[in-house]
Amino acid sequence: NVVVTRKPKPVVVRTDGKAKCVNFGCQKEYVVADNDERACPHHVGAPVFRDAGKHWSCCPKIVKYDFDEFLKIPPCVVTAHTDQRV
């Protein structure tokens, strides 16, 4: 087996000190200097769209049929914002 280790890219901070979060269900712009471990409620799994039902892969028991209702599914974790997909 080959193990590949990647160095995380540095946070891309714009001139206004903000970055865009890539956590599933977040996508907010945040001030990098104000970011902390309680800043970003989000989902750890990707969205799943099957037939008419929509859910997050981390929360498969909560299925919604309306897109606006899908977006209102409560997040399952709270961490810091990040601008990098792991």
User: Which CATH number characterizes residue 43's domain?
Assistant: 4.10.1130.20
Can you give the pLDDT at residue 14?
Answer: 79
- Residue count of the chain, please give it: 86
Strand partners, 55: 48
- One pLDDT digit (tens) per residue for the chain, 86 residues: 566 555 566 666 678 999 999 999 999 999 999 999 999 999 999 999 998 899 999 999 999 999 999 999 999 999 999 998 86
Q: Is residue 3 part of a domain?
A: no
Can you give the pLDDT at residue 29?
Answer: 96
* Full domain range(s) for residue 38: 18-79
Q: Is residue 12 part of a domain?
A: no
Number of domains the chain contains: 1
Q: Is residue 67 part of a domain?
A: yes
What's the predicted TM-score (pTM) here? Answer: 0.77
